[in-house]
Amino acid sequence: MLRRLTRGSAAGLLAVLAACTQHAGSAPATQDGVLTASTLGWRIMQVLPSVAIGGLSAGGARGAWMAGDVCADMATCGVGDTSNGTVVIRHWDGMSWRAVEPPKAYINTPLDQGAGPVTETSAANAWIAAYRGAESVDWTDMLHWTGGRWPAPVRLPAMIQAAIAPSATQLWAFGDGTKPDQPGYVTHFTDGTWIFGSFPLAGTAAAALSPTDVWVGGNTATGRPGMEHWDGRRWQATPLPDLGLGAPPLLGVAVEGIAAVKPDDVWADVSDLGSNLSNRQGAFLLHWNGRAWMRARFPFAGLAYSPVTTDGHGGLWLALEARDKESWFCHYRAGHWTRTRVPSSATPQHLAWIPGTNSQWAVGDASDSTVGTVILKYGA
């Protein structure tokens, strides 16, 4: 399926978040009322004018990557669409976000361009999904940074919406099927070899704890959300609980994010974009306890701007816009949910825990008159 390159498609689907009405297993619960934190240490670090962000990944305190796109020349981008033209890449080296120039073919080109998922294992091993096409996403080029250079990119015939590097020598990438009878598309790079094929899901979110513990969520051929797990030998479906969404066809159901904490502690948020906020059934937080997926409880309602992610210490983060249009960072820790207002001029769309620390990166659109991407950080 061809999709117009827009800021929204690069950032992924917006999720509608609401309070789930059921608590199961070890899913997080709130006590009476909602705990609200007035400040959790989030601050704006930098603004990148005119950049539309597409992906973010952090490998440590001295290494993180993000990618987006910018209109380098109105004559080539087009007056009506200023969110493509040149792929923009930034790398955090522990001191600052420095620009990393992409291959020349991705600078000031007449093709429509965008950036999708970003995944990395170190400062010398990062993958960036570059969307390309003529007014649509016709294919994805996987750009691979190997520590000082970009080898020839690998062209994939799908819009890659989820990617994860479980080790320095592996990459999994997922997207829509490329044939009418193909629900999803998958490619696996392992030890220098590329393997391509069909997949039971059109993957939209992925996470990994190791090369033998990989998760991907997406939609089945019937439109229902699904989850697959890789154990190092094969993919196996892990059934999701009944979310009460009715019979297919379903409208806008998607697995937005996966946060893998431990093999028996994995989280996912599934959103039903066809629902109405007033029914408080827009999205569902799910928990894997090592045996089965169960519904969890989430106490806030609004539009989710970031997929759920781990905080590195057994907790969770996500960002949302409440009904009053205020943006919030929501945090779960030790049985409690708290929330804090997002600093002004920011609409977070991607979150990433910084391994080995208590800190997080967040990137997203500027929400005031400033056009561009805002970079935020939590903690030191």
Once rounded to an integer, what is the mean pLDDT over residues 278-287? 66
- In a domain? residue 42: no
* pLDDT value of residue 73: 61
The model's pTM: 0.85
Return the percentage of the chain with pLDDT > 90, whole number: 49
- In a domain? residue 62: yes
pLDDT exceeds cutoff 50 at 80: yes
CATH number for the domain harbouring residue 222 = 2.130.10.10
- Tell me the pLDDT of the chain averaged across its residues: 81
When pLDDT is cut at 50, 70 and 90, the band that residue 91 belongs to is: very high
User: Which residues have CB under 8 Å from 293's CB, separation 6+?
Assistant: 227, 238, 239, 240, 241, 268, 286, 287
When pLDDT is cut at 50, 70 and 90, the band that residue 294 belongs to is: very high
* pLDDT value of residue 282: 59
CA pair distance 247, 231, nearest whole angstrom: 31
* pLDDT value of residue 3: 31
- In a domain? residue 125: yes
- In a domain? residue 44: no
- In a domain? residue 40: no
How do residues 211-263 score in pLDDT, each as one tens digit? 999 999 998 888 888 999 999 999 999 999 987 766 554 556 788 899 999 99
- In a domain? residue 165: yes
CA pair distance 123, 129, nearest whole angstrom: 17
When pLDDT is cut at 50, 70 and 90, the band that residue 76 belongs to is: low
Asked if 25 and 355 count as a contact pair (C-beta separation under 8 A), the reply is no
- In a domain? residue 45: no
CA pair distance 311, 265, nearest whole angstrom: 13
User: Which residues have CB under 8 Å from 138's CB, separation 6+?
Assistant: 2, 132
Count of domains in the chain?
A: 1
* pLDDT value of residue 223: 81
How do residues 154-167 score in pLDDT, each as one tens digit? 999 999 999 999 99
When pLDDT is cut at 50, 70 and 90, the band that residue 7 belongs to is: very low
Once rounded to an integer, what is the mean pLDDT over residues 48-67? 92
> 74 is written with which tokens?
């109105």
When pLDDT is cut at 50, 70 and 90, the band that residue 323 belongs to is: low
- In a domain? residue 97: yes
Residue 72, domain extent: 7-35+50-378
pLDDT exceeds cutoff 60 at 376: yes
* pLDDT value of residue 194: 96
CA pair distance 82, 218, nearest whole angstrom: 29
DSSP structure class, residue 76? H
CA pair distance 157, 82, nearest whole angstrom: 24
